[in-house]
């Protein structure tokens, strides 16, 4: 389907040549959607051509408008507002465009081929010392949706997860369990494994703070107290023992991690998230250490007297980045370097995207520079999808203080809220309990996902569970309900007489809302591409809402579709509704949102 704005652009190019005997390049021809408060579909900015026409803006616009009318049967008329030429497409052309859209079974999506980009996207990246929480939800939803959008835009996408299963934070949970758990397990406590382990991370922090307080009271300064606290010293020793492979420590580590993995899997299933490959820091850090030590031997990086290995980036306005501690243990940067190298060897990617919060902007900037300094030229294809913090209305959350909102608890609360609101509105009368519970789940997850994804990823946001579940307004349930409304109309039409072919020549003129709805559908492929290029699901989310809103205006402003006496017009409107439902469902699917068929 040739893009009409491109055809207008090329015809304007011919108009300038024909009218003024001048040649203009494509970049100087500015065509944009007409603002909603003016009549028109596309607007041409005429001011750049005044030097060529040597006439007023209005006369220049009129001459170009007449040329377009003569050369393009797709254009019905035009109007001029100062130096802006507003172009109005004909209804016959709109219907022909819609017919092409309707017949395209994969409308909006690009096909993959041998030239498709190999794109790796890492998201989730949890620590095995605590459950997934609200911040992880934003990470997972962004990663999943961007992956689906990239696939729709023709990329070959590999969804990967890096589990941070080693390090001092893991040792903190292990140490607290050894001291206070008395051999309790998730099974004996009937607790989900990640929640169980998370309690001991909180317990460590509580006891650690008490120990610091006691040392300060004894006359030690705060900085020294933090280093000399008994449990912190034990945790550092445990990390060294883990890296040395002490069997007892390794066995405890493996046991506690397995508890957590089982818990993570349940949460991922609830969120509808999965991965093509999972990497573990406990494996990839070894590659990082190997690369760092090799670079040290080749004098590409340096070592201090105490044994600390670092790379000097001060000439690039950065710092001296430590790559191995003085005791030889690895840092996050060490394992991230190892992971990146292993991942490139696995996928030979054209791009590797990391979905990580904006507090890690500096980390990824440094990682990319280090890899390039170590002669890994593919590092230039690493990108960081940086996103802002997400909070609840009552403020920030801290995992180690136990004030974080667990993902499981939030999802369960969302389902309860969806049930209460649906029951209040009486939307599910006549459904079985199993059917109701499945619809509650879809409404709840749709509300959660849409509320988070409609916000530009770069922005900090406040998630309000109550606001997210609303069957009116810019919410997931509103879009889901619009889809269900269309399914109800189509079901009734099929039951009565079916949907047959129609003769568009018997449709004299379109209703304004029909024009608007066709225009919205026409944008869908471009919206997917824009969302893909910007790595930003909010573009698609807002478009999906606008399409649902436009359909509802169409539904309320035209006479009831099934009572329309003109059979061709009725069938056209049914097909227009059917394709709108397709676009809404496809758009929501790319956001990771399921749609009920009935509500």
Domain ranges across the chain = 4-89, 123-401, 413-590
Do 125 and 164 form a contact (C-beta atoms < 8 A)? yes
Between CA 522 and CA 159 the distance in angstroms is 30
DSSP state of 381: G
Structural tokens at position 560: 């009831």
Q: What is the pLDDT of the chain when averaged over all its residues? A: 93
pLDDT computed for residue 60 by the predictor = 97
**30-34, 215-219, 356-360, 401-405: lowest mean pLDDT where?**
401-405
Please give the average per-residue pLDDT across 369-375, as a whole number.
96
Give the integer Cα–Cα distance in Å for 370 and 417: 48
Among 444, 467, 480, smallest CA distance to 393 is for 467
Confidence tier at 294 by pLDDT (50, 70, 90): very high
Band the pLDDT of 305: cuts 50, 70, 90. Answer: very high
pLDDT at 1: 45
**Any bridge partners for residue 277, and if so which?**
160
What is the secondary structure of 74-121 as a DSSP string? TEEEEEEETTEEEEEE-HHHHHHHHHHHHH-TTTTPPPP-TT--EEEE
Across residues 458-470, what is the average pLDDT? Answer: 89
**Where residue 335 falls among pLDDT bands split at 50, 70, 90?**
very high
Dist. CA 83–CA 463, nearest whole Å? 44
Q: Which of 59-63, 231-235, 285-289, 468-472 has the lowest mean pLDDT?
A: 468-472
Name the residue with tokens 């006691």.
214
Average pLDDT value for residue range 176-205: 96
What mean pLDDT is predicted for residues 528-541?
Answer: 98
Quick one: pLDDT band at residue 494, thresholds 50, 70, 90?
A: confident
pLDDT of res. 504: 67
What pLDDT sits at residue 598? 85
Q: Transcribe 447-510 into DSSP letters.
A: HHHHHHHTS-TTS-EE--HHHHS-SSSSSHHHHHHHHHHHHHHHHHHHHHT------GGG----
Residue 398, pLDDT above cutoff 60: no
Is the pLDDT confidence value at 402 over 80?
no
In the structure, what pLDDT confidence band is assigned to residue 423 with cuts at 50, 70 and 90? confident
Cross-strand bridge partners of residue 302: 310
* Average pLDDT of span 184-195: 96
The number of helices, as runs of H, and strands, as runs of E, in the chain is 21, 14
Q: Residue 424: pLDDT band by 50, 70, 90 thresholds?
A: confident
Cα-Cα-Cα-Cα torsion 219, 222, 225, 227, nearest 10 degrees, comes to -150
pLDDT at 392 over 80: no
CATH 3.20.10.10: does it fit domain 4-89? no
Mean pLDDT of all residues in 286-298: 96
From the number of C-beta atoms within 10 Å of its C-beta (0-12, 13-18, 19+), residue 359 rates as exposed
List the one residue out of 69, 14, 24, 68 whose CA is nearest residue 49. Answer: 24
The string over 220-249, giving b where at least 16 C-beta atoms fall within 10 Å of a residue's C-beta and e elsewhere, is: beeeebbeebebbeebbebbebbbeeeeeb
CATH of 123-401, one of 3.30.200.20, 3.10.20.600, 3.40.50.620, 3.60.15.10: 3.40.50.620
Backbone angles phi, psi at 181, to 5 degrees: -75, -25
Q: Coil, strand, or helix at residue 163?
A: strand
Interstrand relation of 351-357 and 320-324 (parallel, antiparallel or unpaired)? unpaired
Using only C-alpha atoms, the chain has a radius of gyration, in whole angstroms, of 30
Q: How many CA atoms lie within 13 A of 195 on its CB side?
A: 13
The fold adopted by the segment(s) 413-590 is Isoleucyl-tRNA Synthetase; Domain 1 (1.10.730)
| Cα 412 to Cα 393: distance, rounded to the nearest angstrom | 18
pTM: 0.91
Note the pLDDT of residue 225: 96
d(CA 483, CA 577): 9
Confidence band of 425 (pLDDT split at 50, 70, 90): confident
Q: Which residue has the tokens 């379109």?
A: 510
To the nearest whole percent, how much of the chain has pLDDT over 70?
96
For the residues 100-122, what does the mean pLDDT come to?
Answer: 94
Residues present in the chain in total:
599
Alpha-carbon dihedral 386, 387, 388, 391, rounded to 10 degrees: -140
User: What is the reported pLDDT for 36?
Assistant: 85
* CA-based nearest residue to 203, from 174, 223, 225, 182: 174
221-233 pLDDT, tens per residue? 999 999 999 999 9
Residue 594 CB coordination number (10 Å): 16
For 195-203, what is the mean pLDDT?
95
């Amino acid at each position: 389907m040739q893009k009409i704005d491109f055809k207008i652009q090329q015809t304007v190019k011919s108009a300038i040549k024909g009218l003024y005997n001048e040649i203009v390049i494509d970049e100087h021809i500015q065509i944009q959607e007409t603002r909603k408060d003016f009549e028109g579909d596309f607007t041409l900015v005429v001011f750049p051509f005044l030097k060529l026409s040597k006439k007023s803006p209005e006369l220049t616009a009129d001459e170009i408008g007449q040329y377009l009318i003569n050369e393009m049967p797709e254009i019905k008329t035009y109007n001029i507002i100062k130096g802006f030429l507003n172009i109005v497409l004909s209804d016959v052309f709109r219907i022909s465009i819609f017919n092409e859209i309707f017949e395209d079974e994969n409308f909006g999506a690009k096909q993959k081929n041998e030239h498709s980009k190999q794109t790796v996207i890492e998201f989730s990246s949890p620590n095995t010392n605590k459950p997934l929480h609200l911040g992880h939800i934003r990470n997972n939803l962004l990663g999943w949706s961007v992956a689906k959008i990239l696939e729709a835009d023709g990329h070959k996408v590999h969804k990967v997860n890096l589990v941070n299963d080693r390090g001092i934070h893991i040792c903190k949970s292990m140490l607290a369990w050894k001291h206070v758990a008395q051999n309790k397990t998730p099974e004996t406590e009937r607790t989900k494994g990640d929640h169980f382990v998370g309690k001991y991370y909180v317990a460590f922090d509580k006891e650690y703070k008490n120990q610091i307080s006691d040392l300060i009271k004894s006359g030690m300064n705060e900085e020294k107290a933090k280093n000399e606290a008994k449990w912190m010293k034990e945790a550092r020793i445990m990390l060294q023992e883990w890296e040395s492979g002490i069997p007892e420590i390794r066995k405890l580590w493996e046991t506690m991690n397995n508890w957590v993995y089982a818990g993570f899997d349940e949460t991922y299933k609830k969120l509808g998230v999965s991965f093509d490959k999972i990497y573990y820091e406990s494996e990839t850090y070894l590659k990082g250490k190997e690369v760092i030590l090799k670079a040290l031997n080749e004098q590409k990086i340096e070592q201090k007297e105490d044994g600390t290995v670092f790379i000097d980036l001060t000439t690039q306005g950065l710092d001296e980045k430590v790559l191995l501690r003085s005791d030889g243990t690895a840092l996050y940067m060490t394992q991230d370097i190892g992971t990146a190298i292993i991942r490139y060897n696995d996928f030979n990617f054209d791009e590797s995207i990391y979905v990580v919060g904006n507090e890690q902007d500096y980390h990824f900037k440094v990682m990319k520079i280090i890899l390039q300094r170590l002669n890994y030229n593919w590092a230039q294809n690493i990108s960081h999808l940086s996103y802002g913090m997400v909070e609840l209305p009552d403020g920030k959350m801290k995992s180690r203080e136990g004030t974080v909102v667990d993902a499981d608890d939030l999802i369960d609360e969302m389902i309860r809220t969806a049930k209460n609101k649906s029951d209040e509105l009486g939307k599910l009368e006549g459904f079985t309990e199993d059917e109701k519970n499945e619809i509650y789940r879809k409404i709840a997850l749709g509300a959660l996902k849409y509320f988070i994804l409609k916000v530009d990823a770069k922005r900090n946001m406040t998630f309000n569970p109550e606001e997210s579940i609303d069957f009116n307004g810019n919410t997931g349930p509103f879009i889901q309900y619009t889809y269900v409304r269309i399914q109800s109309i189509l079901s009734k039409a099929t039951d009565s007489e079916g949907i047959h072919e129609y003769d568009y020549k018997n449709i004299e003129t379109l209703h304004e809302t029909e024009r608007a709805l066709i225009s919205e559908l026409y944008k869908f492929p471009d919206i997917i591409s824009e969302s893909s290029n910007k790595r930003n699901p909010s573009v698609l989310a807002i478009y999906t809402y606008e399409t649902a809103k436009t359909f509802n205006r169409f539904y309320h402003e035209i006479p009831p579709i099934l009572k329309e006496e003109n059979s061709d017009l009725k069938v056209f409107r049914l097909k227009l509704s059917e394709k709108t439902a397709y676009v809404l469902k496809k758009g929501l699917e790319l956001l990771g949102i399921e749609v009920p068929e009935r509500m």
